Each structure stands twice: as structure tokens, then as C-alpha cells.
Chain A
Amino acid sequence: MIATLNVRLRRFLRRTLTRPRIDLPLALGLFVLGLIGLITLYSASDGSLGMVGGQAARFVLGGALLLVVSRISPSVLRSWTPWLYAGSTALLVVVAILGEGRGSVRWLDLGVMRFQPSELLKLTMPMMVAWYLHPRQLPPSWKDMAVVGVLIAIPAGLIAEQPDLGTAVLVTAAGAFALFLSGVAWWRIGLLIGAVGGMIPVGWHFLHQYQRDRVLTLLNPESDPLGNGWHIIQSQIAVGSGGIFGKGWLHSTQSRLDFLPEHTTDFIFAVFSEEFGLVGVCGLIVLYAFIIGRCLWIAMEARDTYSRLLAGAIGMSFFVYVFVNGGMVAGMLPVVGVPMPMISYGGTSAVSLLVGFGVLMSIHANRKAHL
């Protein structure tokens, strides 16, 4: 029994290496993106090889996980989905209980490493929505939409409570995209957006004071020179002074002279913009658009509803990262902790992104047979 398991596991791992099921264009796009990330990080971290090495190690780990996940077929993933979703939500509850009485707790300490359960939801959330919609009639009815709404609201609410607004937005978006892709009628989408818009004043009431401050600071950055206002002003100066062609690699004065805070993590895109200018920004955005487009193409080719919705949602939520982080750096959106995918240093975000792409690779490998 154990011997058979052992044999099967070995075969699985061997095939992972010998017969990788990857989509080359997507893998290439990610590789180039990671390379740009490391190059930018080298400059932003003042030439710290330790940080660049650490980030590269994360990419390697993420890449390995990508290969492993790509061998798991979508139908197996689908059968695991409710458990994965319930498990990751339960971890959120554990964090919420452990965090009782402390300020902001997102981490679960496993002894060996710490990780954020909310990170898991970025993947298990679209999986769950896709799982739910898979056997139903599409486009979904009001009832199905309501169920999906609850499935999204529970973990998103727990994450927002932590409080981690950035991740809550990402998780909600991932679930909402799956719903969008399932073909909800446009007029219903319009109605929903209208309703959400109407809820904004109510939601404002539930925000933490510091979160409200961040939004208000966006409107008037000069009011908060020691905190986020300073971030916003300095980030815009970095971006704006970069101009069309940029100041050149390793020549970002804003980051070098420490005017720009968090210049290796949340604000690394400002360093990139300062050094490579509008040309660099456009190039990077095109690369992101290519990756998202490729994800959607894989989704269209997918075999069943579950795979389609999941692949599409993962691809589209990638856009949310780019838009929210880019908008923050450019002073268009409030300061929330959303990293620039594959460019920002640290965290588990790079690893969890690559695992998500592993799912895409698997869906691609199990695509419809072309007749």
C-alpha cells in the first residue's frame, strides 16, 4: 500500500520534471517579468545582493510549485475545491481568534515559517466560485448569484477585519471575476454595481480610521507629511521626474536619497518608472497585458466550465494587482498593501501567484481536443 503510494509519488515527481505540462508563451512571459523584477530590485535595494538572491529563491520555489501544480488535473482540483476553500477559511478564523486583542494579525506561525492564510484565498476563492457554478445552468440565476455572494463575503469580511483591505479587495475581485465570466446578464451587473455604489457610504462607516485617513490623504496629500501623504507626494515626484525615457538604471534619485518610502516593496514600481520612464512603463504594461490575454485565451480553450471560470478569474485578478498598485504609485488610488506582481520584493505573494499560474498550466494541458 505504502509502496504503491511511494511509486506513484515518484512517478508523479519524475514526470513533473521530464514531461512538464507548461504553456510556453505564458512561461516565457512570467520569466521575463521575473527578470525585470530582479533587475529593478537590484537598483531599488541599493545593490543588495542578499535581497535579490532572496527574491530569486522565492521565484525558484514558486516555479517548482508551479511545475508540481501543473501536473494536477483540473478534475482532481475540482474535487478538492470545497475542502481547500473550507480549510483556508477556517485558517482565517483561527487567525482572527489568535489575533483577539492585538492590533493587526494576519500571520499564522507554523514554527518553521509564517504565512498569511489570506494569501491562500486568492486561489481558493475563484476555485470555489467556479466549483459552485460548474454544475449549474449558466448564466446564473439571482439565487446562484446570492450564494456566490455569500461565498465571497465570508472570507473577504474576515480578511477585511484583520485589517487587510488590499488582500480583501483582491480576494473579492477574484471571486467576482469568476461570476462575471459565468455570463451574468449585463443588466444584472449594472444593477449590482449600482447597489455597491449605493453601499459605499455604509462601507465607509465600517472602515478603520487609518483606512479612512488613507483615502482622505489621497485627496489632500499635504495634510499628512509624516505618513501616507508623504508617500503619495514622493512617489509622484519619482514617477513624474522619470519622464519619457527615464533616468536610467541605478539612477533613481528619489529612492537613492530615501525620499521614497517602501521603495523595494509597495512602491518599487515608482523606482521602475523613474529609471525607465514612460517607455519602460508602457513596455511593462504590455507584458502584463500579454500575460492576462494569454490566461484568457487558455480559459477559452479550457475543457469545462470549472476550468474556464477558474483560469479566467486568475488571469483577470492579475490585472487588479497591476491596476491597484500602479494607481497607488501614480497617486490615483489610496495607499493599500497590494504588491506589483513579480516586481515587489518579499512576502508570499510571488509564490502564491506562481502557484496560481501552475493551475493555469494544468488547465492548458487538459484543454479541449481540437477536432
Chain B
Amino acid sequence: MKLRRSLKDPRGESLLFRRRALAGFVLILLGLILLVSRFVFLQVTHHDEFVTRSTNNRVKPRAIPPARGLIYDRNGVLLADNVPAFRLEVVPEQITDMPALLEQLGKVVPLGQDDLDAFRKQLKQSRRFDSVPLKMHLTEDEIDRFAVNRWRFPGVDVVPYLTRRYPLGGLFAHVVGYVGRIDADDVERLDPKRYQGTSHVGRSGIERSYEDVLHGTPGYELLEVNADGRTQRVLETHAPIPGRNLYLSIDVRLQQAAEAAFAGRPGAAVAIDPRNGQVLAMVSVPTFDPNLFVNGINHVDYSALTNDPDKPLYNRALRGVYPPGSTVKPFLALGGLEYGVRRPEDTVLSTGQFCLPGHGGSNSTGRGGCYRDDTRGGDGTVNMVRAIEKSTNTYFYKLALDLGIDRLSEWMSRFSFGNKTGIDLLGESEGILPSREWKAAHSKFGWFPGETVIAGIGQGYWAVTPLQLGHAIATFAGHGVPYAPRLVMATAAVTDAQRRPLPNPPSGPSLIRRPAEWDVINEGMRAVIVSGTGKLAKLNDGFPYLIAGKSGTAERFSRTSSAYDTNKSTAYLATRHRAWFMGYTPSDDPQISAAVVLEAGAWGGTDAGPIMRKIFDAWVVAKGGAAPRDVPLPAPGEPNQGVPDQSAPNESTAPIEDIPVEDNPAQASSSDGATP
């Protein structure tokens, strides 16, 4: 036994190292000999075999891209289809002089600048032996002309592929979205194995968010190629697994009715089944033709779309944020009940002006913490139901103050205001829910009590998307049970077409603890339709069920001139207002709810209300029975009877709600203020 050394021993260590280094070198030599013996095994023992395989090496695998899943509406109406097409492909390594080839080829098949740009871009990213698409969607004439001249162009081929077609054009552009050619950014994020041979990928909408389901799994074939690399024959084929088909919960007829109801005026509407969160209609007007994007949109079309002042590419339902105005009032009232701050029978006296405690009400300018009601002289003594019906600002100013901003924003956030609703689309806006946290993050000032007051009537920092409001009213209509909105209700394999529903359990417990509270708010929103703004628009006339709802009219600009007080023409107001309407039906057992925003609407009740009514009308018609499969749709006409003319309102029948106040102090600093 050696004694353990207690000090470092340089000489001993050096010797130890020497022995170790030698041992290590011997091991390395053994490893290298092992490696060489493997090469001997391959290069000597099995040399003949590999030479044969090398000379016979004419078999190349090629991926077969899977067919993309189709997209249907809830009744099986086709929304996204695959159609066969042909494209021109070039294998770069077989081309000696690319510019000359493109010039010669251009004489046979016309090549646009866009084609060439896209081709050159992709050429840089692909390997030299991978074929690069040059021109998509060849016409028959072009195919014929190329076939005759094909001998002149080795390395160029016409290749069949499936391209996407959206038979309904713009109607679903914002929901289904579109596919586009795979570009450099996609190459980085996509699994190269799954996308070998695939030329398109979902770019927006359902096509993007359900890419994994729609895409499928590629197969492959073993090809025999000659010395040029040209395919001689197919030896083996392993079929790809096509992507799954999707069934949307949207009904084409509701969608068409909603879009038609806007008559081209910019806005958005979302209709949801409150019982399960299924989206029944979702439109953003104006829209665009998604087919333009599939094979690469040209510059002219693209700049026409981007330069359009109405921004057709912008998905207003999902991303457009607007001040919600009075539409927040029913939710706020519910919060008052829920937190025990108000009982339904508690009354408030509305005198036409509400002043923060401690601020003089006699201040004639209205500054110093006073806020106006819509009706001059006020609505008198109002309880909760009547406050919702009349949209009495004073009632909600007080309620907001009594709740306090913290409880107000905590309660409202439960309806997904200020949050994503969790719809199965990407790119949803969160909007803004007024709160101390939000202000702290965006301003150097603290929270002012006046901001709580105006938050109570949906103005100030508030910003919501049509989808958020649609989700909120659906959650209320569903007796407080929140469901994340869902566009896709089922998937099906191409082979058996057996629909497999996608479950959508509630995203949380009911927000309403006592059913009686729901009844109070419901009564208030019924009253809006019966005797409030809805009465004026005759929203329930001739409709088989009871409708409940609430209007909102938000101002787009702060009032800087006195023109607002004198000019009451609808056309003038429409340039200044955004009109909201939200509602549901039947009010005793809600089965459909909707939220509508009209960007240039004068009044919520009379301009946005009828759009909601037309969606409900289409729903009633659709309820009569599901449309048969793949039958042409009824022309988007007027399936509704008894709906008031959209142009009905005029100055003489000035809405009860929505009479603007003058000089609201809170609006002096905000460019997108709101009145209820």
C-alpha cells in the first residue's frame, strides 16, 4: 500500500501524466484502427456489392405532398377546395445559363416580373438539385406551347399540383384566410420533413391556425432516374396521408346575411351560440378575394388592397379596437349586483349632470369634475332596469365610483375585456381594459377618480374588439358560462368523412352566482328593445322570438368645434360616430347572440341594430333545417321580412339615447372619446 502523498509531487505527477498520455494514445490508436477496419469492411470486403449499388444508383426518393384538408361550413358547404393545376419547375443544377434560359422560356410561356422575382428569391434558398417553381397555375394554352418546345429546355418541367380555391371569394376571407407560397421565413419554422414537396402553407385565418390539422403527412415514391436526373419510372409509391377536413360552426347563410347587411359600409359583426361558444357568423367589411393570394399576388392587386382607405385586408372583427360606449353598461350593472354594491330597486336621480363629490355642481363651464347625461335635464329617478333602458349616464357614473376602478376592471376582465378571448385564430387584439395597471404601464400619472367615472360609460381608455364584445354578450346570454369562441366544430378524415367533434368545455365556472341577477339585466336589455333605442329601430317587429340587446354610440374624435351642437344630420354624425349593437335571442332561452360595429354609423340603435336583426332573421330561416350538402347557395338577397329600412332614422325621430353632451371635460385630452 502506498502512502497517500500530502504534498504536490511534480515529478510524480509528470510521470503519472506520461503514463496516462501513453495509455490514451494507445486507446486512440485502437479507436482509429477500429475505424479503419470499418472502412476495410466497406471498401474491401463489400467493395463489389457497393460498386454495383453505386452504378445502379438510379433510384431517388421523392416526397409526395399530402392533399390539404378541405374546409366546410357547418352544413357541408365547401369553403376551401383543392383544384388540380400545373406549374413550371426548374432544376437549377441542370441549367448552364439561367438568364438565357429565362429569356428563351419567356418567349414560350409569358413570365411576369412577379414570377421572376419570386423565382430568383427562392432560387437563392434552395439546393441546386431541388426543383424550384417558376410559374404557378399555367393555362392550358401555356402547357401546350411548352410541351411542343420542351426539348429545348432540359431541366424545366411541367408539374401537376393541387392549388387552393375559395369558391365563396371574399365572404370568408377574414375567417378561413388563405394559403400562400412557402417563403424563406416559413422554411425556417417548418419541419422540412413534413413539408418536402409542399409549395403552400396557411398564411392567415383558419388556414394558418389549423395548419397542423390541414397539412397531413407526406408520402414518398422511389423514382428511377437517368444520368440527367430525369425520371424514367416510378418503382414504389407510399401514399401520403391527406390532411383532415374541417367543419366550421359558421352557417354560410348567416355569414351572407351579415355581410349583405353592411352593404359595403366598414364594420364587423360576430354572432356566437351562447350555449357552446360556437361562432355562427363572423364578418369584417370590406373584404377581399383570398384567391388572389394563393399563387402569389401581383403588385397591382396588392397595392390596390393596401392603399384602399377602407383597409379590406384588416380583420376588424379580430383586430379592430373601438371604444365600446354604452354597451358596457349591462355588464357593469351586473357587476354592481354581483359585488353587492347595488340592488335592482336602488334608484339614482338623474338631473342631467353628475359631479364628483367635492366638486361644485354650480360650475357653469362643467369643468372641475362634472359629467353630463345624454338627456338634457336627465332621466329623472331611475332604477337599474330603467338605467339600462335609458342608458342613463349618471346611474353608471355613480355605480363605477362605488365599485371603484379595481373592482370594475377585475369584473370586466372576467368577460375577456383587455384579454384575448381565446378564439381559434391567431393575431387577436387584446383591446384595452381601463385599470390602474394599464395606466401605470402607459402613463406617468396615477389613476384619477374622473377616469373611473367615464370608464363606467365605456369611454376613456376603453378599447374593445367586436369579437370581445361578441364573446362578452355570448357569455352573458349563456347565463354567465364562459366559452372560448370556436370557429371549427369538427374535423373529419378524408377517407371516412366521419365528423369528429372538437370539444370546447367552458373556460371557467359561471360568472353569475344568483340567477335572479341575470333576470334583472335581461329585463333591462329587453326594455332597450321594447321601449329604448331598439323600439325606434323596430328591432323586434315581426320577429318570432323576443330579442334583448343594448346599443352604443362611441365618438371617434373629441369635440373641438361647435358644429357638433348645431349639425344634427345623420351623414355628419356618421363621420364622427361608431355605432354598436349587441344582443341575443330568444331572451328567455338565448340561442344566438351577436355584436355589431359600424365604423361610420350615426347611432347604435338605428344603424347597427338592423344589421344584428338581419343576422337573427337568417338564423331563423336556417333553423328551419340544415341545407343539403354541396347544393348551390341561395343568392345573397333579402331573406328577411319585416325588418325596418336601414335608412329609416332621421333627425325628426332623434334617438332617445345617444343625444350627445356638450363639452365633456374627459374628452378634451382623448382623441377617441365616446358618449354612450
Q: 23 A-B contacts, Cβ less than 8 Å apart?
A: A180-B20, A181-B20, A182-B17, A225-B61, A225-B220, A230-B61, A239-B39, A239-B50, A240-B47, A241-B53, A241-B54, A244-B44, A257-B229, A258-B129, A273-B39, A278-B43, A281-B36, A296-B25, A305-B17, A312-B21, A319-B31, A331-B42, A332-B35
- The residues of A that contact B19 with a CB separation of less than 8 Å are 183
The bracket for how many chain B residues form the interface is 35 or more
A346 within 8 A of B: no
Question: Are B24 and A281 within 8 A (Cβ)?
Answer: no
Does B29 touch A at the CB level, under 8 Å? Answer: yes
Cβ–Cβ contact A177 & B44, under 8 A: no
Nearest-CB residue, chain A, relative to B63: A226
Chain A residues within 8 Å of B93, by CB: 258
Which residue of chain A lies nearest to B5 when distances are taken between CB atoms in the complex?
A137
With an 8 A cutoff between CB atoms, is A153 at the interface? no
Closest partner residue, chain B, to A246 (CB atom): B43
Chain A contacts for B6, CB-based, 8 A: 137
Does A308 belong to the interface (CB within 8 Å)?
A: yes
Interface 1/0 per residue, A18-46 and B, CB below 8 Å: 00000000000000000000000000000
Complex interface: chain A residues within 8 A of B7 (CB): 137
Question: What residues of B have a CB within 8 angstroms of the CB of A244 in the complex?
Answer: 43-44, 47
CB distance from B68 to the nearest CB of A (A): 19
List CB contacts (< 8 Å) of B34-77 with chain A: 35-36, 38-40, 42-44, 46-47, 49-51, 53-55, 57, 60-61, 63
Contact bitstring A175-200, B, C-beta under 8 A = 1, else 0: 00100111100000000000000000
Chain A residues in 8 Å Cβ range of B46: 240
A323 within 8 A of B: yes
List residues of B whose CB falls within 8 A of some A CB: 5-8, 10, 13-14, 16-22, 24-25, 28-29, 31-32, 35-36, 38-40, 42-44, 46-47, 49-51, 53-55, 57, 60-61, 63, 93, 128-129, 189, 193, 196, 218, 220, 222, 227, 229
Inter-subunit contact A299/B229 (CB<8 Å) = no
A293 x B25 contact (CB < 8 A): yes
How near does chain A come to B27, taking the closest CB pair, in angstroms?
9
A363–B231 Cα distance when bound, in Å, is 58
Question: Interface readout for A203-242 with B: 1 if CB under 8 Å, 0 if not?
Answer: 0000000000000000000000111001000101111111
Q: In the assembled complex, which residues on chain A have CB atoms less than 8 Å from the CB atom of B55? A: 241
For chain A, residues 328 to 360, give those with C-beta under 8 angstroms from any C-beta of chain B: 330-332
Complexed CA–CA distance, A233 and B220 (Å): 17
Given contacts A244-B43, A285-B36, A288-B32, 18 further A-B contacts (CB under 8 A): A180-B20, A236-B42, A239-B42, A240-B42, A240-B46, A240-B50, A241-B50, A241-B53, A253-B57, A257-B57, A257-B227, A281-B36, A289-B29, A289-B32, A299-B21, A308-B17, A323-B35, A330-B38
A322 on interface, CB distance cutoff 8 Å: yes
- A contact residues around B32 at 8 Å (CB): 285, 288-289, 319, 322-323
Contact in complex: B25, A259 (CB < 8 Å): no
| Assembled-state Cα–Cα distance A278/B46 (Å) | 12
Is A150's beta carbon under 8 Å from chain B?
no
Query: What's the dominant secondary structure at chain A's contact region?
Result: helix
A-chain residues with CB within 8 Å of residue B57 when the two chains form the complex: 234, 237, 253-254, 257, 259
Contact of A316 among B16, B28, B42 (CB under 8 A): B28
What residue in chain B is nearest A261 (Cβ atoms)? B127
Give the size range of A's interface with the partner.
Answer: 35 or more
Question: From residue 138 to 187 of chain A, which have CB atoms closer than 8 A to chain B?
Answer: 138-139, 177, 180-183
Which of A78-115 touch B at CB < 8 Å?
A: 103
A281-337 residues at the B interface, CB under 8 angstroms = 281-282, 285, 288-289, 292-293, 296, 299-300, 304-305, 308-309, 312, 316, 319, 322-323, 326-327, 330-332
Question: Are the C-beta atoms of A330 and B51 separated by less than 8 Å?
Answer: no
Q: What residues on A are CB-neighbors of B20 within 8 Å?
A: 180-183, 312
* Contact in complex: A330, B35 (CB < 8 Å): yes
| CB–CB B47/A299 < 8 A | no
Do B17 and A241 touch across chains, with their CB atoms under 8 A apart?
A: no
CB-based nearest A residue for B8 = A137
| A-side contacts of B21, CB under 8 Å | 181, 296, 299-300, 312
B54 lies within 8 A of A254 (CB): yes
Which interface residue of A225, A259, A316 has the most chain B CB atoms within 10 A?
A225
B28 in contact with A243 (CB, 8 Å) = no
B222: min CB distance to chain A, Å: 7
Asked if residues B8 and A278 are in contact (CB atoms below 8 Å), the reply is: no
A240 — which chain B residues lie within 8 A by C-beta? 42-43, 46-47, 49-51, 53-54
Q: Which residue of B lies closest to A233 (CB)?
A: B53
Assuming A236-B50, A240-B51, is B42 touching A330 (CB within 8 A)?
A: yes
- Closest B-chain residue to A330, C-beta based? B38
Residue contact A103 to B25, C-beta cutoff 8 Å: no
Chain A residues, Cβ within 8 Å of B17:
181-183, 299-300, 305, 308-309, 312
